[in-house]
Structure 1
Amino acid sequence: MNTTAKRNHLALDLLSFISIVFLSYILQDFLIPLIFAIILSVLIYPIVQFFESRLYFNRIVSISIAIIIFTFIIFAIFVLIGIQFEEIMNKSDAYYKQIGQKLTPLLAQTEQSTGINSKDIVGDGNLGVKEIVKKNSNKIVNFITTSGSILGDFVLSPLYMFLFLLYRNFLVSFIYKITTGISTKQHTRVILQQLYKVQQNYLLGLVSVMAIVGLLNSLGLLILGIEHPFFFGFLCALLLLVPYIGIIIGSLLPALIALATKDSYWYAIGVIGIFGFIQFIEGNFITPKITGSKVSLNAFVSILSIVLFSMLWGIPGMILALPITASLKVLFDHSERMKPIGFLLGEAKQKYFSIKTMNRLKTWKKIRTKKNKKLIN
């Protein structure tokens, strides 16, 4: 009977999981801005609380000011990026020619060794960047169309943020009511507090890590003498929103600029090497120290969650993967049935030894125990 019940529970859990994934995919246009709004509400809540408790502003006024400040910061960042990109694109044809001149010897060697015509690889060398854009205009339009949902998320998210912050007490009371009979009010409060701390630690840690990584990237580019070092340094740091993959994308553009403007190929290799080294330091030292153990997810689960959420929701899924997975870990840790999964998601803090080492440790413990008994006797 117990075996049958376990099988029924397993089948029900599997069916529930499939249903949740299916609904998440179908309702992604609704869920993505909603989840963004929840996470960003956690980020600006301390500002709202400051205006309400310290300055004694009305709740609506406090929320409005906080959202306006946040929106202005995001808007200013995008404007600065747009201005800098426009300046780079004005020089794009010159960069293209310089890169072509440096790649010509390599292509000639490739042609001699493989027999492949260099024109088959890069096409006509006189083709400018602007002409490439014109010829691929259909692809660009399709990309903008598919990215429209992302822009829509940023339009809807501020509205959801306002409503979440305005009705926060009402929503918490609702959660208490629906968990009555399943969990005590105190236990529910503990879970909500931990969820809040997880998101807050992740967001504040991410901002701090971006600032440090951006500064390190900029200093590295400055030492190499690459154009626009602070722009590329902090742009790459901003792409940390897409973990593991963002830093790779962010290093390609300054590497191409280095290839176009410098006399040696080693500058481009140096850019990639510096960014890779900083990524190593960030992943192994900076992020674990700053973000803290409350957001701890092991590396395998982090990469797996990014891959799976990118398959489910695309680029927004890659950004939301870690905060969602960290929140699920909190929920699993407080569920008796899901505790093993919560354990699997967390960091592996145990030290693992080979069988031979384990046997040596057991022998050493036995010897120590016998010695201690002799001393007692």
Structure 2
Amino acid sequence: MTFAAQELRLISALVVILGLGLFLALPFVLSIGSVVFLPVVTALILTIVLSPLADRLSALGLPNVLASLAALLVMLAVIVLAAMLILQPAINLFDSLPAIVDRLGERFADLQRQFYWLGEANRQIAEITGDKSREVVVATPSMIEQFAYATPSVVLETLLTFLMAFFMVEARVRMRRRLLLERSDFGASIKAARVIREVQDRVAAYILTVTWINAGVGVIVALGAWALGLEAPVMWGGLAAILNFLPYIGPLTMVGLLALFGVGTADTVFVGIIPAAAYLALHAVESNAITPSILGKRFTMNPVMILIALSYFTWIWGVLGALLSVPILLTLTAFFDHVGRPNLVGFLFGEPLFGDPVTGEPTDDIPDPRPE
């Protein structure tokens, strides 16, 4: 028994080492192969989200192919509508951008004159220490050149993503049938079906609920922008709704945009920061009271894990990775809830890697308390 326990612990240690190595190496692989991996991961998330809608359309009598296509078209219509709500007012507002930039320059010049003594002290310290810094200017492609280079790749990845999402949604029924009927162990089939159902229900319900909450935030922000006299209030409401999908980073970005636009258009700095302050108060109420009460404990995730996932996937795939970070984290959480989470902390103190951290009993023997 002692030899078997030592052998099991050695294998578990190898599993932990391999898992850490995979975690560290995976960003480089996914980043280099983003043209391949990013459409696949995005299509998987879209499949999880759109499968319940396709199931309901199929239950109404539509063929599976038409139900899958209709679900995808509904999502595309929502994306196009959101883009129109934001892009059209933004284009109209673009003409006033030079005046806003000039006003911001004047504001910052006033602040610089007020803190002139600080810059003078810094210059004197540099002269005393003999620090003579040199400015290095690196020639980079213009924004138009970068956009022209990136457009073909973005269009190709978008087409691949939607095509894969359609075929994955269309093949969902066959995949479920194979999981149930082509397994040699009936218990494994039931467990696989339960995992797929839990992942799909949890991720789809989370995204749908958060979408409704963010839409409400967008409506309130649009009404507030209209009441405060900001230009293009619909655009500000759409930006608030979309950026609210990014935990922590999105609301901070929205506060910064409102502050810059407010200071650049208002007569005084105090009046200019009112929209940003009002949005910050709204976000504090929404994130600390409304969203937790609606989502409940089922969707509660550790904020540290959210920030790790956000930085991890943003580093790999940029803005799209940031949008996918929470759904990916929620998918992995639902998956490990059924398969079993590794007890990494307890493993350092001699407990089994997969098992109950108190008794050390395998978690597979614990019955599922939820009703079928």
3-state DSSP class of the match of 1:227?
A: coil
* Aligned match of 1:352: none
Residue 25 of structure 2 is aligned to residue 6 of structure 1: no
Residue 51 of structure 2 is aligned to residue 45 of structure 1: yes
3-state DSSP class of the match of 1:184?
A: helix
Q: What amino acid maps onto 1:291 in structure 2? A: L
Whether the 8 Å CA contact 1:243–1:319 is kept in 2: the answer is no
Residue 78 of structure 2 is aligned to residue 73 of structure 1: yes
1:174–1:51 distance in 2 versus 1, CA, 3 Å: closer
For residues 309-358 of structure 1, the C-alpha deviation after alignment (integer angstroms, 9 at most, x for no partner) is 222332222111111111211222223463678xxxxxxxxxxxxxxxxx
Taking structure 2 as the reference length, the TM-score comes to 0.76
Find the partner of 1:103 among 101, 105, 108: 108
Residue 190 of structure 2 is aligned to residue 186 of structure 1: yes
C-alpha deviation, 1:175, in angstroms: 3.9
Find the partner of 2:319 among 302, 315, 331: 315
For residues 216-267 of structure 1, the C-alpha deviation after alignment (integer angstroms, 9 at most, x for no partner) is 3223333432222232122122112322111122232332221122112113
3-state DSSP class of the match of 1:241?
A: coil
Residue 142 of structure 2 is aligned to residue 141 of structure 1: no
Residue 293 of structure 2 is aligned to residue 285 of structure 1: no
For residues 67-117 of structure 1, the C-alpha deviation after alignment (integer angstroms, 9 at most, x for no partner) is 223213312322332221211111111222222333332222233542399
Whether the 8 Å CA contact 1:98–1:261 is kept in 2: the answer is yes
Residue 38 of structure 2 is aligned to residue 32 of structure 1: yes
Whether the 8 Å CA contact 2:180–2:190 is kept in 1: the answer is no
C-alpha deviation, 1:25, in angstroms: 4.1
**Alpha-carbon separation, structure 2, partners of 1:337 and 1:232:** 41
Matches within 5 A, 1:1-377: 1=3, 2-19=5-22, 21-22=25-26, 23-54=29-60, 56-115=61-120, 138-139=142-143, 141-142=145-146, 145=149, 151-176=155-180, 180=184, 184-336=188-340, 338=342
1:112–1:140 distance in 2 versus 1, CA, 3 Å: farther
**Alpha-carbon separation, structure 1, partners of 2:183 and 2:337:** 17
**Alpha-carbon separation, structure 1, partners of 2:20 and 2:179:** 22
For residues 126-174 of structure 1, the C-alpha deviation after alignment (integer angstroms, 9 at most, x for no partner) is xxxxxxxxx9752553366468655544322221121012111222234
Question: Which 10-residue stretch deviates more, 203-212 or 7-16?
Answer: 7-16
**Alpha-carbon separation, structure 2, partners of 1:174 and 1:113:** 70
Question: Which 10-residue stretch deviates more, 108-117 or 234-243?
Answer: 108-117
Q: Which runs of 4+ in 1 moved over 6 A?
A: none
For residues 183-225 of structure 1, the C-alpha deviation after alignment (integer angstroms, 9 at most, x for no partner) is 5222222211110111112110121121121123223333432
Whether the 8 Å CA contact 2:306–2:326 is kept in 1: the answer is yes
> How many residues are matched?
323
Whether the 8 Å CA contact 1:224–1:267 is kept in 2: the answer is no
Taking structure 1 as the reference length, the TM-score comes to 0.75
Whether the 8 Å CA contact 2:43–2:164 is kept in 1: the answer is yes
**Alpha-carbon separation, structure 2, partners of 1:278 and 1:15:** 45
**Alpha-carbon separation, structure 2, partners of 1:334 and 1:340:** 17
C-alpha deviation, 1:178, in angstroms: 7.9
C-alpha deviation, 1:17, in angstroms: 4.7
Where structure 2 has 5 or more consecutive residues not aligned to the other structure, the ranges are 123-138, 346-372
For residues 3-48 of structure 1, the C-alpha deviation after alignment (integer angstroms, 9 at most, x for no partner) is 3431322222331453365354454322222222222233333433
Aligned-residue CA RMSD in angstroms?
A: 2.9
**Alpha-carbon separation, structure 2, partners of 1:144 and 1:8:** 51
3-state DSSP class of the match of 1:219?
A: helix
Q: What is the aligned-residue identity percentage? A: 21
